[in-house]
């Protein structure tokens, strides 16, 4: 399908787009208590989309207010199909809602946009035309390329956070995010054929990042847009959402066993801090250094356990009870310590190694064993 809609912002936006079939685009809108924005959003879509591109709108709603009723009411005046998918269990937050919408969508193209009028629907036909023209699987509406801006990002604090997060994310995924200047954008078009719903593990706001990293569309292109001011109500983002984002990043970055082992080692290394602090406190309190070290070591083990539970194996916790996991984890950690000395002796005697290289090899061996044990015995896949 050849597009005649220009990609640049300067040209007149309303020119016809040839479309292959009715319902060429499904617009997925996640909503959480947006009743005051629905009418305006649907009016904006009505004014700028159906004349150029047949569409349907799917709301995926986790609201506790009357948003679903308002949608059903407002849908009567719309010249295109509108549906509401209300979730009783809002798993995965915003990202989880979007994935439900992606699964429900039947069109060739899917556009994801916010329900608070920060994303201009007039850009929808242009996103798709641009994707068709460049044979892209994913078209990102970006605030960070020429012609775009983040006008609606209220406050210096949010701008700084957004910049920092974008920088960190791009640094963590240089390859997967090549060509994406705005991986945090909540406004994008994706081909249905590029969505691999079964590999997605959405967690919070950054669903575009999730798709770019896990679904890996082959070609990506960008179109600039101006992030508008929110129409009514306020952002649903919070400090808790910030923490969820960090967990999301760790989850994405540790999808492969090698990356997971590296993270396991890094977390393990931080255990020295509580260990040394504990040793200091216990010996200062008059305890002999040997039992003090045995106890302080448990502090390091507990610290590691907490970090690993919440960062690395969060999604694999449900197979065993909490005390069971803690017990197994502590057992492995202590077995590591107990095994180390005989292992060094073994390497020295039977492999004829020097004490230093035998120690290094023993450390690496017990580390790998401990990681493999944690994967297989504490957290089942």
Chain positions contacting ligand GDD, by CB under 6 A:
30-32, 34, 60-62, 90, 93-94, 97, 114-116, 118, 153, 162, 184, 186, 205, 235-237
Q: Which is nearer to Mn ion, 116 or 210 (CB)?
A: 116
Q: Whose CA is closest to 77, among 104, 105, 47?
A: 47
Q: Which is nearer to ligand GDD, 55 or 97 (CB)?
A: 97
| Minimum gap (Å) between residue 185 Cβ and Mn ion | 12
Q: Which is nearer to ligand GDD, 54 or 115 (CB)?
A: 115
Q: Whose CA is closest to 142, among 81, 189, 175?
A: 189
Taking CA atoms, 102 is separated from 23, 26, 54, 66, in Å, by 15, 9, 18, 23
Percent of the chain as helix, strand, coil, to the nearest 5: 55, 10, 35
| Minimum gap (Å) between residue 167 Cβ and ligand GDD | 14
| Minimum gap (Å) between residue 233 Cβ and Mn ion | 9
Q: Which is nearer to ligand GDD, 249 or 312 (CB)?
A: 249
Taking CA atoms, 241 is separated from 35, 160, 173, 246, 254, in Å, by 22, 16, 21, 9, 20
Contact 93, 60 (CB under 8 A): no
Contact stretch for Mn ion (CB under 5 A) within 114-122, 286-294, 299-307, 346-354: 114-122
DSSP states along 61-95: E--SSSHHHHHHHHHTT-SS-EEEEE-SS-TTHHH
* β-bridge mates for residue 69, sequence order: none
Partner in contact with 60, chosen from Mn ion, ligand GDD, none, beta carbon below 5 to 8 Å by kind: ligand GDD
Q: β-pairing, 82-86 with 188-191?
A: unpaired
| Minimum gap (Å) between residue 50 Cβ and Mn ion | 24
Taking CA atoms, 126 is separated from 4, 111, 115, 302, in Å, by 10, 11, 19, 53
Q: Which is nearer to ligand GDD, 47 or 91 (CB)?
A: 91
| Residue 304 interacts with Mn ion (CB under 5 A): yes or no | no
Question: Of 349-378, which residues contact Mn ion (CB under 5 A)?
Answer: none
**Residues touching Mn ion, count (CB under 5 A):** 3
Q: Which is nearer to Mn ion, 30 or 268 (CB)?
A: 30
Contact with Mn ion (CB under 5 A): which of 116, 132, 309, 336?
Answer: 116
Partner in contact with 38, chosen from ligand GDD, Mn ion, none, beta carbon below 5 to 8 Å by kind: none
Partner in contact with 303, chosen from Mn ion, ligand GDD, none, beta carbon below 5 to 8 Å by kind: none
CA atoms within 13 A on the CB side of 26: 22
Q: Which is nearer to Mn ion, 205 or 371 (CB)?
A: 205
Partner in contact with 358, chosen from ligand GDD, Mn ion, none, beta carbon below 5 to 8 Å by kind: none
Angle at CA of residue 182, ends 45 and 115, nearest 5°: 30
Q: Whose CA is closest to 330, among 377, 270, 364?
A: 377
Binding mask of the shown chain, residues 229 to 268, with x at each position contacting Mn ion by CB under 5 A: -x--------------------------------------
Contact 186, 119 (CB under 8 A): yes
Contacts of 245 (CB under 8 A, 6+ apart): 165, 204, 205, 206
Residue at shortest CB range from ligand GDD: 186
Classify residue 142 as left (phi > 0), alpha (psi -120 to 50) or beta: beta
Contact with Mn ion (CB under 5 A): which of 26, 118, 185, 374?
Answer: 118
Residue at shortest CB range from Mn ion: 116
Instruction: Write the DSSP symbol of residue 312.
Output: I
Which positions touch Mn ion (CB under 5 A)?
Answer: 116, 118, 230
């Amino acid at each position: 399908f050849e597009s005649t809609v220009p990609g640049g912002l300067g040209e007149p936006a309303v020119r016809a787009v040839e479309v292959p079939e009715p319902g060429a685009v499904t617009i997925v809108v996640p909503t959480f208590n947006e009743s005051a924005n629905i009418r305006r959003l649907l009016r904006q879509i009505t004014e700028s989309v159906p004349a150029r591109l047949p569409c349907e709108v799917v709301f995926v709603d986790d609201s506790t207010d009357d948003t679903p009723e308002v949608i059903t009411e407002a849908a009567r005046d719309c010249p295109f199909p509108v549906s509401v998918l209300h979730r009783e269990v809002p798993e995965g937050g915003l990202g989880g809602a979007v994935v439900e919408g992606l699964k429900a969508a039947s069109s060739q193209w899917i556009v994801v946009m916010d329900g608070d009028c920060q994303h201009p629907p007039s850009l929808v036909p242009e996103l798709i035309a641009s994707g068709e023209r460049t044979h892209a699987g994913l078209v990102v509406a970006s605030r960070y390329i020429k012609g775009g801006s983040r006008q609606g990002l209220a406050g210096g604090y949010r701008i700084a956070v957004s910049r920092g997060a974008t920088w960190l994310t791009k640094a963590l995924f240089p390859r997967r995010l090549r060509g994406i200047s705005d991986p945090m954008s909540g406004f994008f078009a994706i081909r249905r054929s590029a969505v691999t719903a079964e590999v997605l593990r959405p967690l919070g706001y950054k669903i575009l990042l999730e798709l770019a990293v896990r679904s890996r569309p082959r070609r990506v292109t960008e179109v600039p847009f101006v992030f508008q001011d929110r129409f009514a109500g306020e952002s649903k983002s919070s400090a808790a959402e910030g923490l969820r984002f960090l967990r999301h990043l760790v989850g994405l970055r540790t999808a492969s066993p090698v990356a997971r082992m590296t993270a396991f080692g890094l977390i393990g290394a931080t255990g020295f801090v509580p260990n040394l602090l504990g040793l200091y406190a216990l010996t200062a309190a008059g305890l002999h250094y040997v039992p003090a070290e045995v106890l302080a070591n448990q502090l390091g083990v507990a610290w590691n356990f907490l970090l690993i539970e919440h960062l690395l194996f969060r999604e694999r916790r449900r197979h065993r009870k909490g005390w069971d996991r803690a017990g197994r984890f502590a057992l492995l950690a202590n077995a590591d310590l107990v095994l180390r000395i005989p292992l060094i002796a073994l390497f020295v005697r039977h492999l004829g190694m020097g004490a230093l290289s035998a120690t290094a090899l023993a450390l690496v061996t017990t580390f790998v064993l401990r990681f493999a044990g944690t994967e297989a015995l504490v957290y089942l896949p």
